[in-house]
A and B are shown apart, each in its own frame.
Chain A
Amino acid sequence: MVLVESGEKENLMELVRDRLVESGWKDEMRIACREHVKKKGRKDVTVDELIRVITPKGRASVPDAVKEELLNRIQKFIQSAAL
């Protein structure tokens, strides 16, 4: 897709990561993971399980400002690519 080819996806990924780290979202996710690992015992836990556990919370807890910024940027790109 044009998004990947133009390198814009890389830029967006970096932007998302930076924003989510800054806002403390990543720390919250890591805490949630640790809680689950403590419950399950660290030898039994799998990556898929962790993803399954934190995805709903992760998606819901993205700060609105971050979401807006990202969506705006994505839309701008799509519009400019469609021209």
Chain B
Amino acid sequence: MSNSEDNKSSHDQLSSQVFLDLVDSVIADVASECHRIARLGLDKDLEVVEEELRLSVEARAKVADPSNNLETNTKYVVDIFGQSHPPVATEVFNCMNCGRQIVAGRFAPHLERCMGKGRKARAKATRSTTASQNRNSRRNTSDNQLSSAPPGFEENVKRA
């Protein structure tokens, strides 16, 4: 009967419309999420790309600048290829311990905190657990040799 056929085709149309509506909603969600991540700078990869672009633009400007006396420039040594080397290494890479992106020139201080080697970093770690837990862990763990030595030992080593 033609009536039910009409019904069916309008149903189909309606279903398609509803379906597209649903898909559009999900698309809007995804776009909104990505927009937020992009604007807040939460995407690590994007930051690396931007940082590299910025550094390369800076380096190029420095080389192209004629007023920059390349030969007697004491701060930035320029090699025969015309590349300038800033005194603090500006390359960015991933710390193998925590996975964060670190500027090479600041890697040593970062590692101190990251691995708990520095005086302040270690004190912070021990303060947050109870004293008895600490004593137990010192007896049991064999890999972290620093923590198994008595506190006075480290001070002596530092003074030496």
Contact = CB atoms under 8 A, between A and B. Distances in A.
Interface centre among B27, B31, B39, B49 (most CB of A within 10 A): B31
Contacts of B32: 47, 50
A36 B31 CA distance: 11
Given A45-B38, A75-B11, A79-B11, A50 B31 contact: yes
Nearest to B46: A42
Contacts, number: 90
Nearest to B47: A42
Contacts of B15: 71, 74-75, 78
Interface of A: 3, 12-13, 16-17, 20, 26, 29-30, 33-34, 37-38, 42-43, 45-47, 50-51, 54-55, 58-59, 62, 67, 70-71, 74-75, 78-79, 82
Interface of B: 7, 11-12, 14-16, 18-20, 22-35, 38-39, 41, 43, 45-46, 49-50
21 contacts: A12-B18, A17-B29, A26-B26, A29-B30, A33-B31, A33-B38, A34-B34, A34-B38, A42-B50, A46-B35, A50-B32, A51-B31, A54-B27, A54-B31, A55-B24, A55-B27, A58-B26, A70-B19, A71-B16, A74-B15, A75-B15
